[in-house]
Structure 1
Amino acid sequence: MKDGKPWVGDQVHDEATNRKAIVTDVRGGSVYVLRHVWGGGDTWEAEDPEQLTVTAPAGERPHHAQNLKTPDQEGPPHMGRTEYYNDPHAPKANTLIPASNLLVVDDSGAILLQRRRDTGQWALPGGAQDIGETAAECAVRECLEEIGIIAEITGFLGVCSNPHHIVAYTDGEIRQQYENTYIGRPTGGEPTINDEADGVRFVHPADLDQYDIHASMRQQIGDYLAGTYPYLG
């Protein structure tokens, strides 16, 4: 909360729609952008803070400490995760696993994003590198596995190894993020949702501000758009 009013990251009850939601943005200090607590569905806006009751302030939200599962999702629930970025209260990491992301750009310049079920935020496809594959092969594989798009590498965006980017999982793993991010173009496949992503789409750069994108991922996209890469840090 901020000045007694809901703020970004707070879990609230929206009386107007009778839905539980997460505040993802506050525009002009008065327009609240909300998404469902499960991360699925479209966002909506609330212009009256009086209709929003904070049920869990940011940092105390229930989904930080439990597995997430959408009501219509089949199969086992996801492992819960809490992501910390330059947060002095982050727990100490106990693992470091190399991972790869792929920033896929189509002929119009739109960027391929997926909406993660576990956080509700939009992100580049990516994941942990397997034994026996290169970092670039990992990026291509993860893109196909996660969102159904076949892509080829066209460039290298950078290494992101900020020791203050921590992801804590409910199984006890606390991972320091280490990501190699590549640039690619689509060559086949169809955008497909799965048990990790409930939304997949190409987004034009002019529309990126309308999407809830984690700060670390937004930095990588920003480096690409500004041409300030490769980023080595």
Structure 2
Amino acid sequence: MEITSVYPAVTVIIFDKEGRILLQKRKDVGLWGLPSGHVEPGETVEQAAKREVFEETGLHIEIEKLIGVYSDPSSQVFYYPDGRVVHFITTYFSARIAGGKLHIDLNESLEVGFFSPQALPSNLLNMHPCWLSDALSDTERGYIR
């Protein structure tokens, strides 16, 4: 299938106090993944990350560090059920919870919850295992993939 568009995107990994990772089960494809979304016109990637996390989970966050920037079509092309094929250029951050109350946005998510890094759901979006590995590594410099 031909790529129909390219979008700037953000993804955020958020750990709770027990070291568990926040994931959402996406309504559009039925798979688990990190909170993520598009950068809107006039918005910085940091603003987009904070907005997307709040919209999808009800949580306010503070960005802690850049994990990396991901653009490789082999992992960044997403096939939507409606036929769209989108190549995402994703800026990936780690963040901490600064407030809010966890909830499900029923327009975008089927479920949200925290998972131990050793007990993640098996039905993850295809790019998320790499993203999770990068966030859990001891590397201080950001990844470019």
TM-score by length of 2: 0.89
Aligned to 1:37: none
Work out the CA distance in 2 between the residues paired with 1:108 and 1:170: 35
Q: 1:195 aligns with which of 90, 95, 107?
A: 107
How many residues were matched structurally? 142
Gaps of at least 5 residues in structure 1 are 1-90
Note the C-alpha offset of 1:211.
Answer: 3.6
Note the C-alpha offset of 1:191.
Answer: 1.6
Q: 1:205 aligns with which of 110, 117, 127?
A: 117
- Say yes or no: does 1:219 pair with 2:130: yes
Note the C-alpha offset of 1:149.
Answer: 1.1
Residue-by-residue CA offset, 1:141-167 (whole Å, 9 max, x unaligned): 100001111111001110110123322
Q: 1:163 aligns with which of 73, 77, 86?
A: 73
Work out the CA distance in 2 between the residues paired with 1:162 and 1:130: 21
Work out the CA distance in 2 between the residues paired with 1:206 and 1:95: 35
Q: 1:151 aligns with which of 20, 44, 61?
A: 61
Q: 1:102 aligns with which of 1, 8, 12?
A: 12
Q: Percent identity?
A: 32
Work out the CA distance in 2 between the residues paired with 1:154 and 1:130: 21
Matches within 5 A, 1:38-49: none
2:87 aligned counterpart, secondary structure: strand
CA spacing shift, 1:222–1:106, aligned 2, 3 Å: same
1:205 aligned counterpart, secondary structure: coil
TM-score by length of 1: 0.57
Say if 2:28 and 2:81, in contact at 8 Å, map to a contact too. Answer: no
Note the C-alpha offset of 1:94.
Answer: 2.7
Highest RCO, 1 vs 2 (Cα 8 Å, sep ≥ 6): 2
